[in-house]
C-alpha cells in the first residue's frame, strides 16, 4: 500500500515537487517513542540481551552438552552423530544405539579416524560410569587428579581425563552432569514458560475481548464464571490431575493452561469496555465496519499495551509454577532435566551444596532477568513516561 502511495506521486496528481509523498515509517511514532524509553532503561536492555543469548545457547543444548560427538570420521566416512543415529554395529558393537562414551567404541573410532566433541561430553541423561566417588560428586575442579581420573584405565595419564569430561558443577544423585542438565533444564523451563504464556494470552485475550466488546449478558456470565473458577484452589487440583494423568510436557502444559488463561481476561476486558466507547470506535461503526474488524483493528491495539506489559511477568510466573510442581515431584516425567528436580535434590543432599546453589542461582537469575525486562517493557508502555516531557 505504501509502495503504491509512492508510485501515485506522479505528475497527474500534481504534488508539490519538493516534498514527495512521505511514506509511512516502519514503526508508528508512538512505538518509536516507546522503543526509546525501553532503550533508556539500561538494566532492562542488558537483561534482554543476556536472556536472548542464554536462550539461543540453550536452544542449541545438543551442540553444547552431549554424549555424542558433533562430528566424527570413521574409516574415511564423515559422520554426524549429533543429528543422525548410527547403530553400534557400524563400529563393531552390538546395540541399536551407539554409546560413543564407551571406551571400546571410542578407541575403535579413534583408531580409524577422529571425533570432535562438544565442550561438555555429557547429555542431561548421561550417567558418568567413570566416577570414582559416591554420587552426588563434587565439581571436578575441587577434586585431585587421582580422584578425578580414578576409574579411567590409564589413571591420571588417560587421554579421556580431560576438560571435556569435567563435571564443572558436579553431578547429581544419579551421576548425571549438573551443568548439562542445567542447559537442558533452562531450555525446557523457558520454552514451557513462553509457550504457556502465548497460549494463555491468546485464550485470555479472546475471552476478555468478547466480554468487553459485547458486554451485557456475555460479560455478566463470563465474570461470574471467572469468579467461581478463580476460587478453585489451583495447586491442589493440579496435584490431583497430574497424579491421575501421566504428566508429559504437553499434558502438563494443558493442565496449567486450564488455570493460567484467566490472568489476562480482566485487563483485556477492561480495555475493551473502555475503548468501545471511544469516538474513533464509534466512527468505525458508523463506517459500517464489522464487529470483528473493529475488534481486531481498533480495540486490540489498546489491549496490546496491557498484554505486553504483563507478558514477562506471566512468563516468570509460568516458570515458577513448573519449577514448583517439579520440586514436589508432580511435574515433568522422571528423568527430565528440570530445575525443580535439581532444587529438590539440593534440599535432599545438603552436604552437596553445588546442587542447591546451582539450581537456586539459575532459577533466581531467570526470574530476575524476566522481571528486569518486564520493568523496562512496563516503562516503555507507561504513558506518563512516554509522554513525560510533553505538556
Partner 1 sequence: MTEPLLRVENLQIDFQTEASLVHAVRGVSFDIMPGQTVALVGESGSGKSVTALSVLKLLPAVATYPAGSIWFKGQDLLAASDQQIRAVRGNAISMIFQEPMSSLNPLHSVGKQVSEALILHRGMSKAAARLRAIELLEEVGIPDPKSRLDDFPHLLSGGQRQRVMIAMALANEPELLIADEPTTAIDVTVQAQVLALLRELQKKRGMAILFITHDLGIVRKMAAVTHVMTHGEIVEHGPTAELFANPQHPYTRKLLAAEPKGEPPTTDLYAEPVVTAEHLKVWFPIKRGLLRRTVGHIKAVDDVSITVRRGETLGVVGESGSGKTTLGRALLRLIESEGRIAYLGKDIDKLSWGGMRPLRKDMQIVFQDPYGSLSPRMSIAEIIAEGLAVHMPTLTVAQRDERVVQALREVGLEPNDRNRYPHEFSGGQRQRVAIARAMVLEPRFLVLDEPTSALDVSVQAQVVDLLRALQKKRSLTYLFISHDLRVVRALANEVMVMQGGKVVEYGPARDIFAAPRTAYTRALMAAAFEVEAVSEVGR
User: Quick one: which of 274, 363, 372, 257 has its CA closest to 319?
Assistant: 363
- Quote the least distance from Cβ 304 to partner 1, whole Å: 9
Binding mask 3-32 for partner 1 (x = CB under 8 A): -xx-xxx---x-xx--xxxxxx---xxx--
State the DSSP string of 272-320: HHHHTTSHHHHHHHHTT--HHHIIIIIIHHHHHHHHHHHHHHHHHHHHH
Instruction: Pick the binder of partner 1 from 90, 125, 285, 385 (CB under 8 A).
Output: 285
- Is the Cβ of residue 42 or residue 390 nearer to partner 1 in the bound state? 390
User: Quick one: which of 319, 298, 375 has its CA closest to 54?
Assistant: 319
Binding mask 253-282 for partner 1 (x = CB under 8 A): -------------------------xxx-x
- Quote the least distance from Cβ 287 to partner 1, whole Å: 4
CA distance 214 to 56: 42
- Quote the least distance from Cβ 120 to partner 1, whole Å: 47
**Coil, helix or strand at residue 247:** coil
CA distance 139 to 355: 10
The count of chain residues that interact with partner 1, using the rule CB under 8 A, is: 38
Assess contact for 50 and 370: CB atoms under 8 A: no
Q: Quote the cell numbers at residue 96.
A: 541399536
- Quote the least distance from Cβ 293 to partner 1, whole Å: 8
User: Quick one: which of 349, 347, 375 has its CA closest to 363?
Assistant: 347
Please enumerate in sequence order all residues whose Cβ is within 8 A of that of 58, keeping only pairs 6 or more positions apart, or say none: 64, 183, 184, 186, 187, 190
- Is the Cβ of residue 1 or residue 111 nearer to partner 1 in the bound state? 1
198 lies in the binding site for partner 1 (CB under 8 A):
no
Binding mask 32-61 for partner 1 (x = CB under 8 A): ----x-------------------------
CA distance 235 to 250: 18
- Quote the least distance from Cβ 373 to partner 1, whole Å: 23
- Is the Cβ of residue 13 or residue 350 nearer to partner 1 in the bound state? 13
Residues near partner 1 (CB under 8 A): 1-2, 4-5, 7-9, 13, 15-16, 19-24, 28-30, 36, 278-280, 282-289, 297-298, 301, 388-391
Amino acid at each position: 500500500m505504501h509502495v503504491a502511495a509512492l508510485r501515485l506521486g506522479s505528475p497527474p496528481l500534481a504534488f508539490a515537487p519538493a516534498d514527495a509523498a512521505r511514506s509511512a515509517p516502519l514503526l508508528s511514532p508512538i512505538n518509536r517513542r516507546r522503543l526509546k524509553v525501553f532503550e533508556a532503561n539500561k538494566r532492562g536492555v542488558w537483561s534482554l540481551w543476556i536472556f536472548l543469548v542464554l536462550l539461543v545457547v540453550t536452544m542449541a543444548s545438543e551442540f553444547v552438552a552431549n554424549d555424542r560427538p558433533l562430528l566424527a570420521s570413521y574409516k574415511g566416512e564423515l559422520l554426524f552423530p549429533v543429528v543422525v543415529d548410527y547403530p553400534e554395529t557400524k563400529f563393531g558393537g552390538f546395540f541399536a544405539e551407539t554409546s560413543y562414551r564407551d571406551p571400546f567404541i571410542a578407541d575403535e573410532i579413534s583408531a580409524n579416524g577422529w571425533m570432535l566433541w562438544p565442550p561438555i561430553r555429557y547429555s542431561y541423561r548421561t550417567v558418568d560410569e567413570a566416577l570414582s566417588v559416591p554420587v552426588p560428586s563434587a565439581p571436578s575442579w575441587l577434586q585431585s587428579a587421582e580422584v578425578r581420573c580414578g576409574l579411567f584405565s590409564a589413571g591420571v595419564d588417560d587421554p579421556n581425563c580431560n576438560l571435556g569430561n569435567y563435571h564443572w558443577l558436579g553431578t547429581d544423585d544419579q551421576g548425571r552432569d549438573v551443568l548439562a542438565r542445567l542447559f537442558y533444564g533452562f531450555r525446557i523451563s523457558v520454552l514451557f514458560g513462553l509457550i504457556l504464556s502465548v497460549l494463555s494470552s491468546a485464550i485470555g485475550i479472546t475471552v476478555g475481548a468478547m466480554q468487553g466488546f459485547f458486554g451485557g449478558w456475555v460479560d455478566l456470565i463470563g465474570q461470574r464464571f471467572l469468579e467461581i473458577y478463580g476460587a478453585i484452589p489451583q495447586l491442589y487440583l493440579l496435584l490431583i490431575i497430574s497424579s491421575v494423568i501421566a504428566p508429559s510436557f504437553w499434558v502438563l502444559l494443558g493442565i496449567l493452561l486450564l488455570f493460567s488463561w484467566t490472568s489476562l481476561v480482566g485487563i483485556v476486558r477492561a480495555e475493551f469496555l473502555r475503548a468501545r466507547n471511544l469516538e474513533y470506535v464509534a466512527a468505525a461503526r458508523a463506517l459500517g465496519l464489522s464487529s470483528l474488524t473493529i475488534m481486531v483493528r481498533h480495540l486490540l491495539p489498546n489491549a496490546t499495551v496491557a498484554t505486553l506489559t504483563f507478558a514477562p511477568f506471566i512468563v516468570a510466573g509460568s516458570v515458577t509454577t513448573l519449577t514448583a510442581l517439579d520440586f514436589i515431584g508432580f511435574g515433568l516425567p522422571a528423568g527430565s532435566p528440570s530445575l525443580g528436580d535439581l532444587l529438590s535434590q539440593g534440599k535432599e543432599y545438603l552436604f552437596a551444596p553445588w546442587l542447591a546453589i546451582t539450581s537456586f542461582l539459575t532459577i533466581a537469575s531467570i526470574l530476575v532477568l524476566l522481571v528486569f525486562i518486564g520493568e523496562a517493557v512496563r516503562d516503555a508502555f507507561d504513558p506518563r513516561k512516554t509522554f513525560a516531557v510533553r505538556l
